[in-house]
Structure 1
Amino acid sequence: MVILRVGMCPGLDEDLLGNLRAADVRTVEDLISSDTEELARKCSVSYKALLAIRRVLLAQHAAFPVSGADLYEELLSSTAILSTGNPSLDKLLDSGLYTGEITELSGGPASGKSQVCFGVAVHISHHLKQTVVYVDTTGGLTASRLLQMLRTETSNTDEQMEALQRIHIFHLFDIYAVLDCLYGLCSGGLQQVCVGGGSVKAVIVDSVSALITPLLGGKQSEGMSLMTQVAGVLKTMAKDFNVAALVTNHVSRSGNGEVQPGLGVSWSHVPRTRILLERVESAAASVSHSSLRSATLIKSSRQVPQAAQTVVKTYC
């Protein structure tokens, strides 16, 4: 919805704007959908002048038609698939994380969500030589932990340091600070954080639910609005800048006791793909320091959910 303002086009001055508002025409949509002849009488302006304004606004704000073939070509040219560095998880995700989309990892405490995110950041920065933006809302990510993981990938100190420089970490513990950060990245911040010629290919928010959940329910109606804003800016960032957005979410239990991702139905439409992580309780898991996790695909536009399940190994 675009609000009418003085100077949007020739002829739209303060007097006409006042008359339009008096006629309850406040947006471009209102003006375009109104009967031009009747509106001209109400606003005491010539029909031709108002028609000219209408044509200019239509040219500025109307969508141009595009064919399905053109959209498909654009999709092929802009979409990239980023390996997570975990073959089992890549198979579940139909080859990896897709740019232009939001992928969610949900799970309970110690389910391995953050460890998977750490591994994704390390793999993209070291092996793919691309920049990663990591928004940490829980305080669980440290440079020493990333360095520890990088040392398992390469013994070259220079390569380790270069990979660390490509991971930009924001420790933010307030939902408003997270929104400011995400809006800032959309307004030019993504280009500013690029290092060594690579581009930002992944934005990780761990955890998206940690700061939103306390604001939901009861009389705290602002929580839903803030959640909608986070969803909107993440979708915009993913599509407009061709990045893969990876977020983590907590879990809750339904009325029949089934484990399900948190944040409710409204959030469930935001991620394109949803993975549920759970600990594998077995003798094998205890031997490997509980590094094995069950990963279940519960939402996808490319694969069959629920039927797709695998066991992934996270960093210890």
Structure 2
Amino acid sequence: MEFIKWPLSAGLCPSLTQDVLLQLRGKGIETVIDFVSMNPERITAVCGLPFKRVLAIRRVLLAQYSSFPVNGLDLYDETLNTIAVLPTGCKELDNFLECGIYTGEVTEIVGISASAKTQFCHHFATNIAATLKQNVIYIDSTGGCSVRRMSELLKLNHPDEHLTSALSSIKVCKCQSLFEFKNAINEIRNNLQNEETFCSALKVIIVDSISAILGTCMYATSYVEGMSDVQKMGREINKLAKDFAIALVVVNDVVSTSVAVPSATTSNISFSKKPALGRCWSYVPSVRLTFEPVTEPTRLLPKDIMENDRSMDFTVSVTKSPRSFNRSIGLSVTRHGIVKIQK
């Protein structure tokens, strides 16, 4: 990191006269950084200046050129005033997640195909719209967003709410490429800054799925450029969540990696699963939840759940969180959405 070299000049403060300036320059102290980075006792010993004068000059230089300090208690109070905890719509899951999904963070939902990730997004979005009367932007990149399914959830879980009013609080945005995703994020940021009507009550942004958008950029150009795009978008959505106190939920897939386990006779190959998009993405989410089907995963379409009354059990594990770690809970997907497993 290269510091700006502000030169010392007479008149910056009453104690910094021309004679003092010549003494400092004679000892190689020519910039503000040189002065404030040196111990005051050493300046007194080397230059022969009074200790009180050195402290007075140092105090003025720090007040003029240093960043404004923030009291830790004030920063803590500001954080408490801007952070909100949003309920998911399932009491057991809220208790498991320390009251729910936190704003100002990126929460990642990781799992294989047909592990209830999209069903959770539907359940969470409808609960925010109906219970808290807040707006939700649903960025759909896979075509899995079902308005019919969200309407069914609203009718079953919130029968007293007006269906049209609740659905109008959920805005669905189709993004099939990185270019469209960048434009959508930039438009959301501009609308938030300009306090556009819909975004003035925006509390949740759901991206389903982020791997479908960012995974393609690794192969469209070179691998290094693709990783750079992933990092840039990771910083952008993290900054968006923090700047406007929004809960940003992203859905990510898993990939299998093979690891050779040597033995006395042969080398066995073991397979492990990890979130997609690589290590450059791992720093982006503050909370990572892993969804795993209890039995062999079978894709449940909204029609199967609504008309055939089918259900699927799955587990939710916390694999990354500043509040809890290495815990899991069993849940089920039914017509009513995400509920506790019925024994």
TM-score of the two chains, using structure 1 as the length reference: 0.75
Match for residue 279 of structure 1 among 274, 287, 293: 293
Shift of 1:124: 0.3
| Aligned-residue offset at 1:119 | 0.5
**SS of residue in 2 equivalent to 1:173:** coil
Give the equivalent residue in structure 1 for 2:189: 186
- Structure 1's 193 and 313: CA in aligned 2 closer, same or farther, altered over 3 A? farther
- How much is the aligned-residue C-alpha RMSD, in angstroms? 3.0
Larger radius of gyration: 2
Match for residue 315 of structure 2? 294
Distance in 1 (alpha carbons) for counterparts of 2:136 and 2:237: 14
**The residue matched to 1:223 in structure 2 has which SS?**
helix
| Residue 138 (structure 2) pairs with residue 166 (structure 1) | no
**What does the per-residue CA deviation read over 1:104-137, in whole Å, with 9 as the maximum and x for residues that have no partner?**
0000110111110110000000011111111111
8 Å Cα contact 1:100-1:239 kept in structure 2: yes
Contact 1:86 1:312 in 2 (8 A): no
Segment drifting more, 248-257 vs 285-294:
285-294
User: What is the SS of the residue equivalent to 1:141?
Assistant: coil
Instruction: Pick from 223, 243, 248 the counterpart of residue 245 of structure 1.
Output: 248
One-letter amino acid of the structure 2 residue matched with residue 280 of structure 1: V
User: Partners in 2 of 1:160 and 1:75 — Cα distance?
Assistant: 34
Which of 135, 145, 159 matches 1:155?
159
Equivalent residue number for residue 111 of structure 1: 115
The C-alpha deviation readout for 1:55-88, integer Å capped at 9, x for no partner, is xxx9999642112111111111111000011223
Asked if 1 retains the 8 angstrom alpha-carbon contact of 2:310 and 2:334, the reply is no
Normalised TM-score (structure 2): 0.69
Q: Which residue of 2 aligns with 1:219?
A: 222
Task: Give the counterpart of 1:258 among 250, 272, 285.
Answer: 272
Q: Tell me how far 1:216 sits from its aligned partner.
A: 2.4
Q: Is the 8 A contact 2:178 2:217 kept in 1?
A: no
* Equivalent in the alignment of 1:94: 98
CA contact (8 A) 1:103 1:272 kept: yes
User: Does the CA-based 8 Å contact 1:103-1:274 persist in structure 2?
Assistant: yes
SS at match of 1:118: helix
SS of equivalent residue, structure 1 residue 221? helix
- Pairwise CA distance, 1:213: 1.5
Which AA in structure 1 matches 2:166? A
Instruction: Give the SS at the match of 2:255.
Output: strand
Query: How many residues of Structure 1 are paired with residues of Structure 2 in the alignment?
Result: 264
Name the structure 2 match of 1:127: 131
Instruction: Determine if contact 2:315/2:330 at 8 Å carries over to the other structure.
Output: yes
Shift of 1:292: 1.6
Q: Matches of 1:82 and 1:61 in 2, distance apart? A: 41
Q: Assess, with a 3 A threshold, how the Cα gap between structure 1 residues 132 and 298 changes in structure 2: closer, same or farther.
A: same
* Separation (CA, whole Å) in 2 of partners of 1:60 and 1:102: 37
1:260 counterpart SS class = strand
Q: Which of 16, 34, 55 is matched with 2:5 structurally?
A: 34
Counterpart residue type for residue 219 of structure 1 = S
Alignment of 1:188-207 (within 5 A): 188-189=191-192, 191-194=195-198, 199-207=201-209
Partner of 2:28: none
